[in-house]
Amino acid sequence: MDRFLTTIDRIGGVNLLPLAVALVAFFLIGVPSSWVTLTVAGLAMGMMIFLMASGLSLVFGLMDVLNFGHSAFVSFGAFVAASVLGWLAGWLGAESVVLNIAAIFLAFLAAIVFGLAAGWFFEAVIIKPVYHDHLRQILITVGALIVAEQMILAVWGGTPINVPRPNFLTGAVLLGDVAIEKYRVFAFLLGLVVYLALKFTLSRTRIGLLIRAGVENREMVEALGFRIDRLFVAVFMLGSALAALGGAMWAGYETLITPALGAEMMIVVFIVVIIGGLGSIEGTLLGAIMVGLVANYVGFLAPKLALASNMILMMAILLWRPNGLRPAVK
Amino acid sequence: MSLLTLNAMQTRIGQYAVLHDVTLEVPEGGVFVLLGRNGAGKTTTLRSVMGLWKPSPGSVSFRGTDLTGMHTADIARLGIAFVPEDMGIFGGLTVEENLVLATANGSFDTDSLARIWRLFPALEQFWTKAAWSLSGGQKQMLSVARAIIEPRELILIDEPTKGLAPSIIDAMAEAFREISVHTTLLLVEQNFEFARALGHQMAVIEDGRIAHTGSMADFAANKDLQASLLSLSA
């Protein structure tokens, strides 16, 4: 048994979990075309959830801040992007791929800029006064989430908003008898690019080194001569911008959004961060992919269990690994 | 002028007063050892100098610059390094990355690196390994190496021999002797033999107050004083 576990660790360890889940699902589903469709949907969903959750994981790991208001950035990102896409509906419907890309780029850019600004404001006004006090953090950030939801209601109204997709991302690509939705491939690829950029930043740059060190031991980073409080603000803004980008992509994926989006996503985002292990980008990606795949497979195989699948997955993983799949070293 | 001056320093942790009145002058050069029983306030003294706990009232000055109220990062940039009791190693980072973080601009000075590899050969051997995989002694070497990768004027070292094997302690003593030629060391230590072998000047802290200060040679010769202040057998 020990030799088997050592071999598993050597060839990838917990990173192989999504593959194992996909393999089991393949035999349970039995229809290859359905399995491919569900797997692509799960990967795309996982990547979008990764974007929403990665910032929260870093913020918790580095700053020890429990930010239940994090999903407000997801909501705002979705609504800001939806508005921009609405204004640029002409570009979205155009035959020109360049105009299509320009529209979606501007929508995502607007969401990111909004996320950065809102993150800066949120950290300065709401988070800073409650550093080192988890109970007050929970109370004030849950309050902030409610306020954010009401602000969205006031600005965008309570009616669900349609989010148009650009022409080049509508429809599906047919591979044999497998239909793969273009937007899902786009979401997966964009998520992958962001993950690789984050991974590069964290592992190859000095600022990334500081963030990783700060997640482990903030005090020692300061004793080496770095003002970690300034790094906190930058990481908080980055996390908020990623959440807003995730929200913007989610809006295009769902094509219909409501002000309750943030509250709905909050639970999923927290589950992903807990499953993955706090403060770890790799863990967050792994957790998000697991949640995406399991939600899609279970939704197909046992629809009545779909809502509970995330909770069951979290319980199973925490019983096995109480600190999550790939926690940052503390 | 002293390199470091603690003047009537008092430090509270929460509602508990740990340091009541610490007045101390650490001269430039050599090894200054701060001795004391468990809970006497040795670690709190070092952390207060580093700004990790804020002394109030009282003051700390370094080369005449008042450190009281300064941010820890700003204190470090004045040329003061800290080797904490738990070593403060970043386990998820490699040995190389731990050292890179301690450099001023992210690159190594060749001579400094050669010196570190000479003092602590194990660090070169495990250069690309994650720091969590090092042994306790190797982690202590890394912690000290991080403090000397850049030129410093003062290094605060908290119980560096705790839990280490005798052979590692000997290597550490050799390294400290060499480092102290150019850098002042303020060393907190429970291992009296280690402290006696290295120290030039010393002080004993008792219940948050300096109970004795003087030369290590005089203290080492006074068995009665050792017995009364440190409960060492006369």
* A2 interfacial to chain B (CB closer than 8 Å): no
Nearest to B90 among A206, A216, A225 (CB): A216
pLDDT over 60 at B234, yes or no: no
What tokens were used for A22?
Answer: 């996909």
Question: Tens of pLDDT along chain A (330 residues)?
Answer: 677 767 767 777 888 999 999 999 999 999 999 999 999 999 999 999 999 998 888 888 777 788 899 999 999 999 999 999 999 988 888 888 899 999 999 999 999 999 999 999 999 999 888 887 889 999 999 999 999 999 999 999 989 999 988 888 888 888 888 888 999 999 999 999 999 999 999 888 999 899 889 888 889 999 999 998 888 899 999 999 999 999 999 999 988 999 888 888 889 999 999 999 888 899 999 999 999 999 999 999 998 888 889 999 999 999 999 989 988 765
pLDDT digits over A133-172, tens only? 889 999 999 999 999 999 999 999 989 999 988 888 888 8
Pairing of strands B31-35, B80-83: unpaired
Q: Where are the alpha helices (DSSP H) in chain B?
A: 42-49, 72-77, 95-102, 110-119, 121-125, 136-148, 166-179, 192-198, 216-221, 223-230
Q: Would you call A227 and B71 a contact, using CB atoms and an 8 Å cutoff?
A: yes
Q: How far is B77 from chain A (nearest CA, A)?
A: 5
Question: Does residue A61 contact residue A55 with C-beta atoms inside 8 Å?
Answer: no
* A208 interfacial to chain B (CB closer than 8 Å): no
pLDDT, residue B79, reads: 95
pLDDT, residue B95, reads: 96
Nearest to B76 among A225, A328, A330 (CB): A225
Supply the Cα-derived Rg of chain A in whole angstroms: 20
In chain B, residues with a C-beta closer than 8 Å to the C-beta of A206 are 100, 106
In chain A, residues with a C-beta closer than 8 Å to the C-beta of B92 are 212, 215-216, 328-329
Segment 38-57 of chain B within 8 Å of chain A by CB: 50, 52
Nearest to B82 by CA among A217, A207, A132: A217
In which residue are the tokens 């349970």 written? Answer: A28
User: What is the rounded (10 degree) CA torsion for A264, A268, A271, A277?
Assistant: -130
In chain B, residues with a C-beta closer than 8 Å to the C-beta of A330 are 91
In chain A, residues with a C-beta closer than 8 Å to the C-beta of B130 are 329
Please report which confidence band the pLDDT of residue B179 belongs to, taking 50, 70 and 90 as the band edges.
very high
pLDDT digits over B1-24, tens only? 689 999 998 998 888 888 898 999
Q: How far is A62 from chain B (nearest CA, A)?
A: 13
Pairing of strands B184-188, B154-158: parallel
Nearest to B92 among A219, A223, A329 (CB): A329
The one-letter amino acid at A116:
L
Share the mean pLDDT of chain B: 91
Backbone angle region of B211, left / alpha / beta, with phi > 0 → left and psi within -120 to 50 → alpha: alpha
Nearest to B102 among A224, A227, A329 (CB): A224
Domain count, chain A: 1
Q: How far is A193 from chain B (nearest CA, A)?
A: 24
DSSP string, A64-109: ----TTHHHHHHHHHHHHHHHHHHTHHHHHSS-HHHHHHHHHHHHH
Nearest to A282 by CA among A234, A235, A328: A328
Residue B65: count of CB within 10 angstroms of its CB: 11
Q: Note every long-range contact of A116-120, with CB atoms under 8 Å and residues 24 or more positions apart, other chains counting.
A: A116/A237, A116/A238, A116/A240, A116/A241, A118/A72, A118/A73, A118/A76, A118/A240, A118/A244, A119/A73, A119/A236, A119/A237, A119/A238, A119/A239, A119/A240, A119/A241, A120/A233, A120/A236, A120/A237
The whole-angstrom separation of Cα B172 and Cα B177 is 9
Helix/strand/coil (H, E, C) string of B161-206? CCCCCHHHHHHHHHHHHHHCCCCEEEEECCCHHHHHHHCCEEEEEE
Supply the Cα-derived Rg of chain B in whole angstroms: 17
Q: Where are the alpha helices (DSSP H) in chain A?
A: 2-10, 17-29, 32-63, 70-87, 89-93, 97-122, 134-156, 182-204, 206-216, 218-223, 228-254, 261-276, 281-301, 306-320
Residue B8: count of CB within 10 angstroms of its CB: 13
Q: Would you call B90 and A226 a contact, using CB atoms and an 8 Å cutoff?
A: no
A13 domain residue, yes or no: no
* B30 interfacial to chain A (CB closer than 8 Å): no
pLDDT, residue B143, reads: 96
Could you list the residue range(s) of the whole structural domain that residue B76 is in? Answer: 4-230
Nearest to A275 by CA among A297, A290, A294: A290
In chain A, residues with a C-beta closer than 8 Å to the C-beta of B88 are 217, 219-220, 223
Inter-chain CB pairs, A–B, below 8 Å: 61
Can you give the CATH number for the domain in which B151 is found?
3.40.50.300
Domain count, chain B: 1
Nearest to A36 by CA among A25, A45, A49, A52: A25
Could you list the residue range(s) of the whole structural domain that residue A119 is in? Answer: 48-320
pLDDT, residue A108, reads: 96
pLDDT, residue B233, reads: 65
Mutation for testing the B interface, residue in A218, A224, A323 having most B CBs under 10 Å: A224
The whole-angstrom separation of Cα B164 and Cα B135 is 10
β-sheet bridge partners, residue B212: B204
* A329 interfacial to chain B (CB closer than 8 Å): yes
The whole-angstrom separation of Cα B112 and Cα B148 is 8
Provide the whole-model pTM. 0.82
Distances in Å between the Cα of A272 and the Cα atoms of A12, A262, A277, A302, B128 are 20, 15, 8, 21, 30
pLDDT digits over B78-132, tens only? 999 999 999 999 998 999 999 999 998 888 889 999 999 999 999 999 999 999 9
Pairing of strands B31-35, B184-188: parallel
* B102 interfacial to chain A (CB closer than 8 Å): yes
DSSP B233: -
